[in-house]
Chain A
Amino acid sequence: MSLELESEIAADRPQATTVNDPHSATSEPDRPVTLITPPKGLMFPDLRAVWRYRDLLTLLIWRDISSKYRQSVIGYGWVFIKPLVSVAIFAFVFGRLAGMSSDGAPYPLFALAALLPWNYFTSSLSGVSGSIVGGGGLLSKVYFPRLILPLASLGAGLADLGLQLFLLVGMMVWFGFVPGWSFLLLPAFLLLTVATSLSFGLWLTVLNVRYRDVGHAMPFLLQSWMWISPVVYSSELIPVRWRWAYGLNPMAGVIDGFRWCVLGTRSPDWMLLTVSTSMVAVILISGLVYFRHQESAFADII
């Protein structure tokens, strides 16, 4: 009787399962049953296990945030200095010298509205793609849901992004720029930014475990990616009939949406936004399944 029930559990959730059911005939009260079997098939990650380990997730995020600027004089000042310097350079080169269109907003504001999601994307994508290899010491010594590591790398960058939003608001006040109602949609696009970083990050971090080429390619990849995303220019420049193709780069949709929320001057190309969002959904779900499929081998390969 007890064995039958256990094998049912084993069949539908391979590798390891923890069931905590006090009424179950197999376990005495408060005795979780863990089953460890060889992995098989394609599965979705066990998000309940991630939830059980939420304390670890928050502590890892907090560890990254609080250790990042230790023993640094400027400390959190760096969160503001980096985007400000970039914005100043972009405003001079592309706004002043090249005279690029900025959707009718001041160019510095136009650039900052794109740089915030873009900087978050680059820092968290490199963080997430290195998270499994970088966490090798942990992975081979302790059990925890492996998904915690990429998720933690996502979280650390959010603190920077949150602080930089204050910078954005400050700059809007400086330019006397009043946002429209679309500003309220900002959280939705923040979420899309995070999802985009996670979706690509999951694929890259798993590939990175087997092929360290990912680590070498990252800086180059991100630099190229910036030029094909509407960071310094407006997606207005792309011919309308090619907008859908441009949207295959999800960061195009993210940045367009972000700009719309902040500047409110030009509503986004809905076609582009739909393509970008669907891309993120597909890459994210496939990334999660791929991650689940590969995670049991992480400790063996690293």
Chain B
Amino acid sequence: MPLPAIRVENLGKRYRLGATHSHTLGEFVSAAAGRLLGRRIGHIATPKLPDNASKQVDEDGNFWALKDVSFDVQPGEVVGIIGRNGAGKSTLLKILSNIVSPSTGRVTIHGRVASLVEVGTGFHPELTGSENIYLNGAILGMTKAEIRRKFDEIVAFSEIDHFINTPVKRYSSGMYVRLAFAVAAHLDPEILIVDEVLAVGDIAFQRKCLGKLGDVAHQGRTVLFVSHNMPVIRAMCTTAACLENGSLTHTGTCDTVLDTYLLATSTQTSCAADIDCTQIACADPAFALRRITILQQGAPTTHVSASLPLDICLSYTVLHTTIGLHVYIQLYDTDDTLLFESLHNGSYADVPTVPRGTYSSRVRIPADLLSPRRYELRILASIHNARSLLPSPIRVRLDVSPGGNANRAYPGYLTAGKLSPLLEWETTLAIPDSPAPYL
């Protein structure tokens, strides 16, 4: 068993609340007086923290940005680190990059580390592009000889060869970040630590950066990658770790951790197949949603088969006759991409008028449309061009299992793509047994 590239043991980072930034004379004197009297003077106002962070504060008023975090990263692993803002991701990366020191625990790293918390660190506006390449390279830990060797490659990658002798203060912001990323992309470490730096440049350049990062990952380097961009993490990482309030909540394969995380963060997602909505959705004077039922083969379930049709039954009351009222569903994947939506009266030619009364609508998602994966179904209602009739969409998680139809010929092969409609193909033999491709 090889040594792990990174071993983190019981890592913790403590901050003293409110005491870090404001050392004024008054505070200094009262703190000193407090020490003399042998007690703490409670003059330091505790900053307002999000509710979920309150459990990170210990009895001494210290805030634990990270607590008891332990994990191993094997050489060659590409690990995505996810979590909400303030979960401790950046603190973790800063400790691993040796920028801040931990309060407890320890980290052992085998291999040369480079970390990329920001692109363009240390760029000096007065210096030219090529001078900044050297400077920035040295700041990121390259030697002069190393930079000289890679200089041409860096310039070519940045696509700004004409302006390489212009001071960077004259650069457009796009040129600036391209140059900065080009330097960073040519770091040659065994372990790379990256913190959300990919949101730079235009789409084409972003794609190029991702490609470069993917190359690094495929060369057997160890990569630690923090991002909120779930599709990118999914595409690049093999494993993932999720942080929540300073603690590690899940680790495992990328897909499992991401799915768990994404569904945990969409707070109102229900996995019930039969939802009584009378309590939650009575905010509008014109409309009240009563019940949502998800049925397959007549039985309420959210664990559905891809090869069978799925029925969604909605029951609702329209309290007075309304013009342009729509009840509709939307299907999302776990990366929050809308796959489709469907209106209960979407096929009408005119803006419909819905008379007062209690209705029940049923919409059928046909068999052989969904892929075997996890989805989120949202149920919404609105008045066209006016207002939404529900305080927020009702979210239901759907777990689709592979049906019999999708992989009859190749069992074990899962169709790629977010939807897998069974389309009709028609293939005829035009010229039997043709000798050459074209005549």
Contacts and interface: CB of A to CB of B under 8 A. Distances in A.
B113 interface: yes
B106 A35 contact: yes
Interface string B116-160: 011001101011000100110011111110000000000000000
A138 interface: yes
Interface stretch (A59-67, A113-121, A234-242, A250-258): A59-67
Contacts of B99: 139-143, 299
B102 A138 contact: no
Contacts of B118: 141
B111 interface: yes
Contacts of A37: 101-102, 105-107
B3 A2 contact: yes
B23 A141 contact: no
A55 B108 contact: no
A38 interface: yes
A182 B325 CA distance: 98
B109 A56 contact: no
B291 interface: no
A31 B190 contact: yes
Contacts of A137: 121-122
A36 B23 CA distance: 28
Contacts of A144: 139, 141
A8 to B, nearest CB: 13
A21 interface: no
A71 interface: yes
Nearest to A138: B122
Given A66-B131, A142-B115, A296-B100, A56 B107 contact: no
Given A38-B101, A59-B138, A300 B20 contact: yes
Interface stretch (B90-98, B256-264, B331-339, B397-405): B90-98
A6 B138 contact: no
Contacts of A15: 98, 101
B144 A55 contact: yes
A27 B110 contact: yes
A210 interface: yes
A36 B3 contact: no
A142 B101 contact: no
Contact of A59 (B3, B113, B134): B134
A142 B117 contact: yes
B55 interface: no
A138 to B, nearest CB: 5
Contacts of A56: 138-139
A301 interface: yes
A190 interface: no
B135 to A, nearest CB: 5
Contacts of A278: none
Given A143-B99, A300-B15, A35 B23 contact: no
A38 B104 contact: yes
A26 to B, nearest CB: 8
A60 B190 CA distance: 26
Contacts of A34: 98, 107-109, 113
B103 interface: yes
Contacts of A23: none
Given A63-B135, A138-B139, A36 B102 contact: yes
A124 to B, nearest CB: 19
A275 B167 CA distance: 48
Contact of A55 (B94, B100, B103, B143): B143
A51 to B, nearest CB: 12
B121 A33 contact: no
B328 to A, nearest CB: 46
Contacts of B124: 63, 67
A16 interface: yes
Contacts of A138: 121-122, 139
B107 A36 contact: yes
Interface string A37-79: 1110000000000000001101110010011001100000000
Interface string A125-144: 00000000000011111111
Interface string A213-250: 00000000000000000000000000000000000000
A288 interface: no
A296 B103 CA distance: 11
B110 A31 contact: yes
A170 interface: no
A36 B109 contact: yes
B21 interface: yes
Contacts of A67: 124, 126-127
Contacts of A38: 101-106
Q: Which of B20, B106, B115 has the most CB of A within 10 A?
A: B106
B111 A31 contact: yes
A207 to B, nearest CB: 10
A45 B364 CA distance: 71
Given A34-B108, A38-B104, A142-B115, A63 B121 contact: no
A35 B141 contact: no
A187 interface: no
Contacts of B115: 142-143
Contacts of A6: 108
Contacts of B139: 56, 138, 142, 144
B356 interface: no
A26 B2 CA distance: 11
A9 to B, nearest CB: 10
Sorted from nearest, which 3 A-B pairs have the closest CB atoms? A296-B101, A143-B98, A36-B107
11 contacts: A28-B3, A31-B112, A35-B108, A36-B109, A55-B143, A59-B144, A63-B124, A137-B122, A142-B141, A143-B98, A301-B21
Given A32-B111, A66-B127, A140-B99, 6 more contacts: A10-B106, A16-B98, A26-B3, A34-B98, A138-B122, A142-B99
